Amino acid sequence: MKLMDMRDTDFGERFAVILSRGEEIDRAVEGSVAEIIADVRSRGDQALLDLTRRFDRLETSSVAELEVGETEIDAALAAVAADDLASLRHAVERVTRFHEKQRQQTWLSTEEPDIMLGQKVTPLERVGIYVPGGKASYPSSVIMNAVPARVAGVREILMVTPTPGGEVNPHVLAAARLSGVDRIFRIGGAQAVAALAYGTATIPRVDKITGPGNIYVATAKKLVFGQVGIDMIAGPSEILVINDGSGDTAHVASDLLSQAEHDELASSILITTDRSFGERVAGEVERQLGLLSRESIARASWESYGAIIVAGSLDEAVAFSNRIAPEHLELAVADPFSLLPAITNAGAIFMGHWTPEAAGDYLAGPNHTLPTGGTARFFSPLSVDDFVKKSSIVCLSEGGLKRLGRDIVRIAGLEGLEAHARSVSIRLDR
Amino acid sequence: MKLMDMRDTDFGERFAVILSRGEEIDRAVEGSVAEIIADVRSRGDQALLDLTRRFDRLETSSVAELEVGETEIDAALAAVAADDLASLRHAVERVTRFHEKQRQQTWLSTEEPDIMLGQKVTPLERVGIYVPGGKASYPSSVIMNAVPARVAGVREILMVTPTPGGEVNPHVLAAARLSGVDRIFRIGGAQAVAALAYGTATIPRVDKITGPGNIYVATAKKLVFGQVGIDMIAGPSEILVINDGSGDTAHVASDLLSQAEHDELASSILITTDRSFGERVAGEVERQLGLLSRESIARASWESYGAIIVAGSLDEAVAFSNRIAPEHLELAVADPFSLLPAITNAGAIFMGHWTPEAAGDYLAGPNHTLPTGGTARFFSPLSVDDFVKKSSIVCLSEGGLKRLGRDIVRIAGLEGLEAHARSVSIRLDR
């Protein structure tokens, strides 16, 4: 962790080190991922079986056997403690209710009787959700990806997850059932992404692939983009907390650590107008680090990519935050709504002292799949929008075409596109 | 052109040839584009000057000189014929009015007093529009990219366009001025995309790059995706016309040719339930081909990727169209609205006999930047949505956190994320 003052002359330089963590996809990874994709495209199921044997040490004679059966899901559901199931159900309910507000309607304007224009909103037909396996197997990821798809009206939701041992985490299976996932396959890595993008004899091709994954999965998603839709290219997690000296230092410290525990590349930053508050938070972080079972991860993250920054004013802090475009932004200030209009770049904004970022990870309602690494400049949280597409609607009557025809013909002429012009004039010149 | 019947046993096989036109980005192009991007990232303006000299044969001593000055734009505007200017202005007005209907609002739900949730909509700060130079220099492209950005509230719209002779088409400059473009640079190719994505001393970094381009531009956009937003990866244009035997064969033929004249890879397909109508359209296409100055392009497209398909019913035709997911879909039938609900995949839908696709290219209002090559399965027309991003808003009171806290702590526990749980319990356990 570095304690810095924004007004120090070397601030820019020192802070640049923290920003440098963004991992770029390197050409070597890209090469091997491209090979895996080509293999799955050409050999289909057989490639999938071979690669699953090689990477996940899972031996089956057909891809169909890699599908998780209904009885297996039933068993998982039965094995999950009732209280845990109730919490997951609560999450599904709240996330559903929030995402329902994102639904967009097909519309048609009738203000000009001879020219009706509109936009048709249609759910994607089939989507694939990637769920990491092993230690990072999170039921909340399933909920946050499947629920918006289901709310959007997607007809079939596939889920893929690598299972080095052959077993899928029961909470993940329960979350899949509660969120409306239709089919689950025990496949992962670039090969699963390729199978979803191009289809195999057993795995149907999807229209979009969402969900987090390691560098191979992220690279595969980037390479198949255009063949299918993808959500975004996610990097390590981050939090930025803006503070005005109000609130409890222990609370702020706990929020910083909730990101730091994710992985060594996570970044937790506090920017405060109150140096003494900042110093006390630093002490609290140290104290709470010692209480964590994931201490070594959280400590590595905090040492490398943690920072406490002193700002001259809240305006300065907000301007800085907008430049960083953090995935998670906490406004741990007395009057958070007064800052809201000025926030231009942030994945999710957590308002005030009673809104820890963790509330957004699970239960409040908004999606926890958020743009990282400064991409909140242009990416948005995963949403129902990601699971629909739009078609423009244009409907002219004869009168409408007459009204527009002359100018269409003229612009087509400027562009040298004679057949475009003729398709209008042939209708009007009679 | 091939005349086929959907019910023929070899239909699938014969039609596959037409679908095969999609060009994939090959690794060789990707390699040279990656080099250009790396060069611009490391050498900035100097690389841009060198590459512009090499590819566009344009010699200047600074990138600033590559900017098109206000006086040059004024002169272009003065040089454009008054009628042409009026037509362009009409297009800008109609496109603006349509896109204004796409604006989304920031919202905040207050139905639970202790938990407010919402979504903030914020325009992108700065975007770059790529406009191809030379023969494919279209003022309508400028309008269709700049207007949605301006309607969205983007603060600065940059435009880049290669100018092998140093001159920008005056209609393009006029369209830029009318659509609210802020700065124009005479740069193009992968180097322009790289400059916009990473910024140089002279070219400011943008948040998103939109607009059409050749394979180098498309590849560059794909490679910088994630560093900036991009709109979509566009391929050659296409039209599919669904017909029920009603309407005028000459009109349908002219619509097919309005796509075919774009380029040799364009694809024009008629699917009709009336074989005789189809045969007469084939004759009309031949006749009209002879009238076109771009005959050779249109003929090459029609020979290779044109088709007239006979369907057993309109339902079959619609199902086929959904499978193709055409960029432009004309419902040249007596009752187009009866088919609308069943259309699931199409970039834009042109309703009835008085709505030639060309109306949508210029003036009706909707965007002409549409998903090609079957990507209407998951991509949408370019819209105001492309020029905003969203941030989730979460605001809990103490009571709200109390209400959610138990379940948050429980799910964090399932995921082994102790610090997440602590950030909640530290606030509630007092």
d(CA A26, CA A219): 9
pLDDT at B2 over 90: no
Residue B377 within any structural domain of the chain: no
Position B301 in a domain: yes
CATH of the domain at A273: 3.40.50.1980
Q: Domain boundary residue among A179, A201, A230?
A: A230
Distance from CA of A80 to the nearest CA of B (A): 10
Annotated catalytic residue B171: no
Whether A390 is covered by a domain: the verdict is: no
Position A372 in a domain: no
* A348: chain B residues, CB-CB within 8 Å: 391-394
B361 marked as binding residue: yes
Are the Cβ atoms of A124 and B378 closer than 8 angstroms? yes
Residue A355: its chain B contacts at CB < 8 A?
Answer: 394-396, 401
Q: Match 């992404």 to its residue by tokens.
A: A193
- Specify the pLDDT at position B23: 54
Residue among B149, B312, B192, B329 at smallest CA distance from B244: B312
Site of tokens 């999450």: A91
Of A323, A346, A365, the residue at which a domain comes to its end is: A365
pLDDT digits (tens, 9 = 90+) for B152-179: 999 999 999 999 878 889 999 999 999 9
**CB spacing of A360 vs B392 below 8 angstroms:** yes
A119 neighbors A145 (Cβ within 8 angstroms): no
Q: Quote the pLDDT of residue A7.
A: 86
Number of independent structural domains in chain A: 3
Per the domain annotation, does B371 fall within a domain? Answer: no
A124-138, A344-358, B193-207 — which is least confidently predicted? Answer: A124-138
Tokens 């990072």 found at:
A136
pLDDT at A236: 85
Q: What is the mean pLDDT of residues B46-51?
A: 96
CA angle A379, A260, A219 (to 5 degrees): 45
Q: Specify the 3-state DSSP secondary structure of A153.
A: coil
What is the CA B421 to chain-centroid distance, rounded? 44
**Looking at the structure, do residues B18 and B36 belong to the same domain, yes or no?**
no
Confidence at B24, pLDDT banded by 50, 70, 90 = low
Position B87 scores a pLDDT of: 97
Which residue of B lies nearest to A344 if distances are taken between CA atoms?
B122
Together in a domain, A157 and A211: yes
Same domain for B245 and B224? no
For the segment A45-61, the average pLDDT, to the nearest whole number, is 94
Q: Nearest-CA residue of chain A relative to B175? A: A411
Strand partners, B2: B307
Inter-chain contact A101–B91, Cβ cutoff 8 Å?
A: no
User: Distance from CA of residue B58 to its chain's centroid?
Assistant: 29
Least confidently predicted of A56-70, B90-104, B189-203: A56-70
Asked whether residue A356 falls in the same domain as residue A317, the answer is yes
Residue A417 with chain B: CB contacts under 8 Å:
258, 261-262, 294, 358
Measured between alpha carbons, how far is A212 from A215 in angstroms, rounded to an integer?
Answer: 10
Do B186 and B141 lie in one domain? The reply is yes
Residues constituting chain A: 430
Contact between A359 and B394 using a beta-carbon 8 Å cutoff? yes
SS3 content of chain B, % helix, strand, coil (to 5): 50, 15, 35
Measured CA to CA, the distance from residue B260 to residue B305 in angstroms comes to: 9
Do residues B130 and B160 lie in contact, with contact meaning Cβ atoms separated by under 8 Å?
Answer: yes
A344–B254: do the CB atoms touch at under 8 Å? Answer: no
Find the closest chain A residue to B349 by CA distance.
Answer: A393
Closest CA to B289 of B275, B279, B270, B302: B302
Of residues A51 and A234, more confidence is placed in: A51
Q: What is the pLDDT of residue A289?
A: 95
Instruction: Compute the residue count for chain B.
Output: 430
Q: Is A328 a catalytic residue?
A: yes
- Rounded average pLDDT over B370-376: 94
Residue B233 has pLDDT above 90, yes or no: no
Question: Is the model more confident about A377 or about A233?
Answer: A377
Percent of all residues in chain A with a pLDDT value above 90, rounded to a whole number = 85
* Residue A420 in marked binding region: yes
Taking 3-state DSSP, the helix, strand and coil percentages for chain A, each rounded to the nearest 5, stand at: 50, 15, 35
The CB density around residue A381, as the number of other CB atoms within 10 Å, is 28
Is the pLDDT at B235 greater than 90? The verdict is no
Q: What is the pLDDT of residue B15?
A: 83
Quick check: A427 and A403 in contact, CB under 8 A? Answer: no
Q: Given this model, what pLDDT does residue A167 score?
A: 84
Strands across the sheet containing A307-310: A2-5, A307-310, A267-272, A238-243, A328-332, A348-351, B388-396, B115-123, B107-112
DSSP conformation letters of B173-218? HHHHHHHT--EEE---HHHHHHHHHH--SSSPP-SEEE----HHHH
Asked if residues A255 and A357 have their Cβ atoms less than 8 Å apart, the reply is yes
Q: Are residues B168 and B256 in the same domain?
A: no
- State the alpha helices, DSSP H only, in B206-313: 215-224, 249-260, 275-289, 295-305
Contact of B260 with B298, CB cutoff 8 Å = yes
Verify that B54 and B18 share a domain, yes or no. no
Tokens of A393: 């609607």
Active-site pick, B99, B171, B238, B328 = B328
Identify the pLDDT of residue A24: 59
Half-sphere exposure at residue B418, Cβ-oriented, CA atoms within 13 angstroms: 10
C-beta atoms of B344 and A88 within 8 A:
no
The whole-angstrom separation of Cα A144 and Cα A151 is 11
Residue A75 maps to a domain: yes
Number of helices (H) and strands (E) in chain B: give both, helices first.
16, 14
Count chain A–chain B contacts defined by CB atoms under 8 A: 368
B191 assigned binding-site residue: yes
Given this model, what pLDDT does residue A375 score? 95
Supply the ipTM of this predicted assembly: 0.96
pLDDT band at A8 (very low <50, low <70, confident <90, very high): confident
Cα gap B266→B239, rounded to integer Å:
8
Residue A247 gets which letter from DSSP?
S
CA atoms of A233 and A243, how far apart (whole Å): 29
Nearest by CB to B358, which of A364, A383, A420?
A420
Interface test with B, best of A172, A411, A424 (most B CBs within 10 A): A411
- Give residue B295's pLDDT: 93
Q: Do B99 and B147 meet the contact criterion of CB atoms below 8 Å apart? A: yes
Residues 6+ apart with CB under 8 A from A323: A345
Model pLDDT, residue B311: 96
In chain A, the percentage of residues whose pLDDT exceeds 70 is 98
Do B393 and A87 count as a contact with CB atoms less than 8 A apart? no
A-interface mutation test, from B377, B383, B386, most A Cβ less than 10 A away: B377
- Neighbouring CB atoms inside 10 A of A199's CB total 16
Q: Which of A328, A330, A353, A368 is catalytic?
A: A328
Q: Indicate the pLDDT class of residue A22, thresholds 50, 70 and 90.
A: low
pLDDT tens digit string along A312-337? 999 999 999 999 999 999 999 999 99
- Which chain B residues have a beta carbon less than 8 Å from that of A207? 377-378
Report the gap between the CA of A125 and the closest CA in chain B (Å). 8
- Give the tens place of pLDDT for each residue, A245-283: 999 999 999 999 999 998 888 999 999 999 999 999 999
Q: Same structural domain for residues B154 and B226?
A: yes
A140 assigned to some structural domain: yes
Q: Is A183 exposed, middle or buried (0-12, 13-18, 19+ CB in 10 A)?
A: middle
Answer yes or no: is pLDDT of A121 > 60.
yes
pLDDT mean across residues, chain B: 94
Q: Which tens digits make up the pLDDT trace of A187-218?
A: 999 999 999 999 999 999 999 999 998 889 99
Considering only alpha carbons, which residue of chain B is nearest residue A86?
A: B407
Interface contact B138-A346, CB threshold 8 A? no
Instruction: Give the pLDDT confidence score for residue B378 in this predicted structure.
Output: 97
Is B247 found in the same domain as B198? Answer: no
What distance in Å separates residue A204's CA from the closest CA in chain B?
A: 14
> Would you say A328 is a known binding-site residue?
yes
Annotated binding residue at B368?
Answer: no
B362 annotated among ligand-binding-site residues: no
The answer on whether A361 is annotated among ligand-binding residues is yes
Please, which pLDDT band fits residue B136 given cuts at 50, 70 and 90? low
- The answer to whether A130 is a known ligand-binding residue is yes
Q: Where are the beta strands (DSSP E) in B288-347?
A: 307-310, 328-332
Contact partners, residue A7, CB within 8 Å, separation at least 6:
A310, A312
pLDDT digits (tens, 9 = 90+) for A217-231: 999 999 999 999 999
In this structure, the answer to whether residues A213 and A281 fall within a common structural domain is no
User: Are residues B213 and B130 in contact, defined by beta-carbon separation less than 8 angstroms?
Assistant: yes
Inspect the interface and report whether the beta carbons of A393 and B366 lie closer than 8 Å.
yes
Same domain for A275 and A421, yes or no, is: no
Q: How far is B61 from chain A (nearest CA, A)?
A: 31
Q: Which of B284, B327, B330, B357 is catalytic?
A: B327
- From chain B, the residues in CB contact with A107 under 8 A are 101
pLDDT band at B3 (very low <50, low <70, confident <90, very high): confident
Question: Residue B252 has which token pair?
Answer: 């349908």
User: Which residue, B230, B245, B275, sits at the end of a domain?
Assistant: B230
Kind of pairing between the strands at B328-332 and B348-351:
parallel
Determine the distance in angstroms separating the CA of B116 from the nearest CA of chain A, rounded to an integer: 9
Q: Is A280 within a domain?
A: yes
What is the rounded distance in angstroms from the CA atom of residue A273 to the CA atom of residue A268? Answer: 17
Q: Supply the range of the domain harboring residue B343.
A: 2-22+235-365
How far apart, in Å, are the Cα atoms of A59 and each of A45, A47, A48, A164, A200?
A: 13, 13, 11, 10, 18
Rounded to whole angstroms, how far apart are CA atoms A420 and B294? 11
Quickly state the pLDDT bin for B25 (edges 50, 70, 90): low
The verdict on a CB contact (< 8 Å) between B207 and A257 is: no
Residue B419: list chain A partners with CB under 8 A. Answer: 254, 257-258, 260-261, 288, 292, 294, 298
- Residues sharing a CB contact under 8 Å with residue B236, sequence separation 6 or more, in sequence order: B21, B23, B262, B263, B265, B266, B267, B372, B373
E strands, A276-366, are 307-310, 328-332, 348-351
Backbone angles phi, psi at A184, to 5 degrees: -125, 130
- pLDDT tens digits, residue range A296-314? 999 999 999 999 999 999 9
**Residue in B349, B360, B379 nearest the CB of A389:** B379
Chain B residues inside the 8 Å CB shell of A208: 378
How many Cβ atoms are within 10 Å of B57's Cβ, its own excluded? 11
Cβ distance A87 to B260 less than 8 Å, yes or no, reads: no
Q: Which listed residue (A327, A330, A353, A368) is catalytic?
A: A327
DSSP H helical ranges for A57-198: 70-79, 82-100, 139-152, 170-179, 189-198
The reply to whether residue A356 touches residue B427, judged by beta carbons under 8 angstroms, is yes
Which of B328, B167, B305 is CA-nearest to residue B241? Answer: B328
Same domain, B214 and B274: no
- Residue of B116, B173, B297, B407 to mutate, testing the A interface (most A Cβ within 10 Å of its Cβ): B407
